[in-house]
């Protein structure tokens, strides 16, 4: 009994320290977010780290960012195109989400269900290539896009983001491996084609991994900064929100537009946050069900 009590006491003490650590980590993680939100409602311009709490609350930062009540001259200003940047990002993210989801699920299903020559070699090569950072190929990709006249266009973003997702099929393949192949074989005996098995049997059983792939494709295109900064150049009308907001707080504009930048950061986080909250259940199921095979 004494041993059990001591073990229970030690376990309780460990839980208390764990909770304290988690609370401290949560505070550290939330402080920058709360600071950005509060700054977006401030009247005073500039990045004031000592006085984060607004002395006077206002929605003008959001109105200015969305060009509500702007004059014609202000609407033409290069820094005041957040609505265009937002629509550009949403357009690219949705298309990339659809295309990349089709790519990833097709490749992963093929690797899971079919056996062909050099299949294992292809998977090993894909695994090795996935270990290298994507920006290492950026110069080559830029030269290819330039030769086709696709630089400074949203098409280049869609093509690159979509094409780079095909190698990330391992998680989805692991999920497909958990679905019994006997189901496919029974459907084939009944006369179903491989495409029918994939679309009418496997896909309905794979809702968690589909949601996981959709979220990954959408968020990667929504948040990317490095590639769009490299490709777009001076085309401010083709910026995404990541690049546009970064340009708003350069050394020339940070004192004047930092509050608008904070408002933009809040607006950008809303769609992605809402999407993750709505799909959280399926997202976690997709991760827990994906075991490499």
pLDDT of residue 66: 78
In terms of domains, do 53 and 92 share one? no
- Token digits of residue 155: 């098409």
More confident residue, 91 or 274: 91
Question: Does residue 124 share a domain with residue 261?
Answer: yes
Which tops the pLDDT comparison, 288 or 173? Answer: 173
Strand partners, 42: 57
pLDDT tens, position by position, 94-145: 999 899 888 888 888 888 887 888 888 888 887 777 777 777 778 888 888 8
Better-scored residue on pLDDT, 252 or 226: 226
234 shares its domain with 97: yes
Q: Are residues 80 and 216 in the same domain?
A: yes
Output the CA–CA distances (angstroms, integers) from residue 30 to 37, 65, 155, in the order listed.
Answer: 11, 24, 36
Three-state DSSP class for residue 42: strand
11 and 120, same domain (yes or no): no
d(CA 224, CA 242): 7
Same-domain status, 278 and 147: yes
For the chain, how long is the longest CA-to-CA vector? 80
SS3 267: helix
- pLDDT class of 289 with cuts at 50, 70, 90: very low
pLDDT at 292 over 50: no
Q: Do 212 and 267 sit in the same domain of this protein? A: yes
Count of structural domains within the chain: 2
Do 211 and 266 lie in one domain? The reply is yes
* Residue 229, CB-side half-sphere exposure with 13 Å CA sphere: 11
Q: pLDDT-derived band of residue 278, with 50, 70 and 90 as boundaries? A: confident
Choose between 66 and 23: higher pLDDT: 23
On whether both 180 and 229 belong to a single domain, the answer is: yes
CA distances to 7, 18, 101, 188, 230 from 198, rounded to whole Å, are: 52, 45, 14, 11, 38
- Which pLDDT score is estimated for 48? 59
184 & 282 share domain: yes
Q: Does residue 166 sit in the same domain as residue 203? A: yes
The residue among 145 and 167 whose pLDDT is bigger is 145
Last residue of a domain, one of 51, 67, 83: 67
pTM here is: 0.77
- Sign of torsion over alpha carbons 16, 20, 21, 22: positive
**Does the structure show a pLDDT above 70 at 287?**
no
Q: Residue 26: what pLDDT?
A: 87
| Mean pLDDT over the full length of the chain | 79
CATH code assigned at 174: 1.10.3720.10
Last residue of one domain, picked from the residues 67, 82, 99: 67
pLDDT of residue 290: 41
- % of the chain beyond a pLDDT of 90: 2
Residue 74's contacts (CB-CB under 8 Å, 6 or more residues apart) are 67, 80
Domain stops at, among 67, 89, 104? 67
Higher model confidence: residue 97 or residue 47? 97
Q: Which of 140, 151, 162 is nearest to 94 (CA)?
A: 162
Checking 127-136 for CB contacts under 8 A at 24+ apart, the result is 127/170, 129/167, 130/167, 130/168, 130/170, 134/164, 134/227, 135/226, 135/227
Phi then psi for 235, rounded to 5 degrees? -80, 85
pLDDT computed for residue 95 by the predictor: 92
Q: Do 233 and 265 belong to one domain?
A: yes
Residue 238: the pLDDT is 81
| Residue 91 structural domain | 73-289
Tens digits of residue pLDDT in 180-221 = 888 888 888 888 888 888 888 888 888 888 888 888 888 888
60-69, 196-205, 210-219, 269-278: which range is least confident on average?
Answer: 60-69
pLDDT value at position 291?
41
Query: Cα separations (Å) of 236 from 25, 135, 282?
Result: 38, 22, 37
Q: What is the pLDDT of residues 76-106, one digit of tens each?
A: 555 567 888 888 999 999 999 899 888 888 8
C-alpha distances in angstroms, 18 versus 13, 15, 123, 148, 211?
A: 9, 5, 40, 55, 32
Q: Which of 91-105, 138-152, 167-181, 271-285 has the lowest mean pLDDT?
A: 271-285
Mean pLDDT, range 171-177, rounded to an integer? 83
pLDDT at residue 145 in the model = 86
Distance from C-alpha of 293 to C-alpha of 286, rounded to nearest angstrom: 15
Q: How many CA atoms lie within 13 A of 173 on its CB side?
A: 19
């Amino acid at each position: 009994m004494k041993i059990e009590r001591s073990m229970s006491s030690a376990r309780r003490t460990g839980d208390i320290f764990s909770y304290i650590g988690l609370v401290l980590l949560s505070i550290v993680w939330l402080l920058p977010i709360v600071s950005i939100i509060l700054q977006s409602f401030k009247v005073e311009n500039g990045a004031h780290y000592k006085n984060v709490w607004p002395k006077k609350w206002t929605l003008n930062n959001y109105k200015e960012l969305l060009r509500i009540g702007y004059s014609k001259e202000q609407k033409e200003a290069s820094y005041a195109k957040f609505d265009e940047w937002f629509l550009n990002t949403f357009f690219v993210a949705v298309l990339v989400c659809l295309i990349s989801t089709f790519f990833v699920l097709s490749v992963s299903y093929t690797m899971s269900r079919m056996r062909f020559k050099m299949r294992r070699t292809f998977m090993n090569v894909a695994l090795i290539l996935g270990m290298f950072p994507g920006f290492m190929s950026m110069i080559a990709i830029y030269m290819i896009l330039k030769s086709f006249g696709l630089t400074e266009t949203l098409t280049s973003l869609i093509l690159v983001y979509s094409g780079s997702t095909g190698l990330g099929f391992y998680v989805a393949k692991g999920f497909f491996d958990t679905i019994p192949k006997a189901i496919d074989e029974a459907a084939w005996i009944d006369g179903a084609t491989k495409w029918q098995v994939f679309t009418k049997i496997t896909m309905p059983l794979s809702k968690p991994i589909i949601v996981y792939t959709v979220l990954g494709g959408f968020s990667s295109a929504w948040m990317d900064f490095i590639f769009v900064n490299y490709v777009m150049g001076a085309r401010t009308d083709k910026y995404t929100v990541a690049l546009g907001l970064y340009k708003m707080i350069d050394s020339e504009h940070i004192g004047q537009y930092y509050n608008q930048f904070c408002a933009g950061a809040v607006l950008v986080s809303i769609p992605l946050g809402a999407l993750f909250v709505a799909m959280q259940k399926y997202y976690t199921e997709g991760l827990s069900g994906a075991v490499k095979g």
